Structure 1
Amino acid sequence: MSKYLVNKFLFTVDRDTALTERYREDPVGTVTWWEAEEANRILSCIDAERSTWLSFTDEERQALATHDHVALFELGAHPFLTLTLWIAMFERDWDEPLGMQLDYAARLAHVTQPYPDISC
């Protein structure tokens, strides 16, 4: 697994409002597009500087495409990156205060220490 690439995806999507909405509405298409067009960008401002070797594993691609934050956490994605992106995408769907965050935590309640390694 490339924790770096998964975390780069989460970080990049979270920092662009249009991309966040695109990922919310079309996760499969967004993951496919991002992996093909953005994953191997070395410097985001220079198109000519690209790599060719970075790609998601099937497991990573599936977890990203289904918005599965539990699987992403278990794969080693940084929980703060998934949490902030999930807040941007899904908090509006909950009526009660902190409803999304409480659901996010409840789905991870089975995880005990030591947590999966989140270092890159």
Structure 2
Amino acid sequence: MSRYLLNKFLYTVDRDPELVERYRSEPRELVAWWEAERANAVLNCHTGEASTWLRFDEAEREALATHDHVKLFELGAHPFLTLTLFIAMFERDNTEPLEYQKYYGARLAHFALPYPDIAT
């Protein structure tokens, strides 16, 4: 398991409107593509440097592919990264102000201190 890689996925997808739309409409395909093409690129580096060892485990892949923000939190994904990306994908489906944010929080309400470790 790699909290770093989960957070890197959330961070990089959230910053590209095309990737946000792909993640909304075809999450499994985007997760597989991103893992193969982007997971090992050095973050914020444009020199072509890359590592070779980063990959998601099955639990991470499944949580990402199903947009399961509760499972992502359990796995150590940072909730602010998940929330901002999921707002970009799902807030438009709601009619009430802050409706998605309330839904997001309600699904995490069963967690008590100490929260899962989100440090990377």
TM-score interval, smaller chain: over 0.9
Letter in 2 for 1:45: H
Letter in 1 for 2:33: W
Pairwise CA distance, 1:50 = 1.6
Structure-2 residue corresponding to 1:27: 27
Deviations 1:82-102 (A, max 9, x none): 000011000000111111000
Cα RMSD for the two superposed structures: 0.9
Residue 99 (str. 1) matches residue 99 (str. 2): yes
* Unaligned segments of structure 1, at least 5 residues: none
Tell me how far 1:46 sits from its aligned partner: 2.7
Normalised to the residue count of structure 1, the TM-score between the two structures is 0.96
In structure 1, distance between residues paired with 2:70 and 2:76: 10
Q: How many aligned positions are there?
A: 119
Q: Which runs of 5+ in 2 are unaligned?
A: none
Residue 6 of structure 1: CA displacement?
A: 0.3
Separation (CA, whole Å) in 2 of partners of 1:75 and 1:38: 20
Runs of 4+ aligned structure 1 residues displaced above 6 Å come to none
Aligned letter for 1:97?
P
Aligned to 2:66: 66
Distance 1:91 1:18 in 2: 17
Instruction: Give distance in 2, aligned partners of 1:90 and 1:42.
Output: 29
Task: Provide the rounded CA distance (Å) in 1 between the counterparts of 2:110 and 2:78.
Answer: 17
Identity percentage of aligned residues? 67
Find the counterpart in structure 2 of residue 45 from structure 1: 46
Mapped partners of 2:33, 2:39: distance in 1: 9
The Cα of 1:45 is off from its aligned counterpart by 1.5
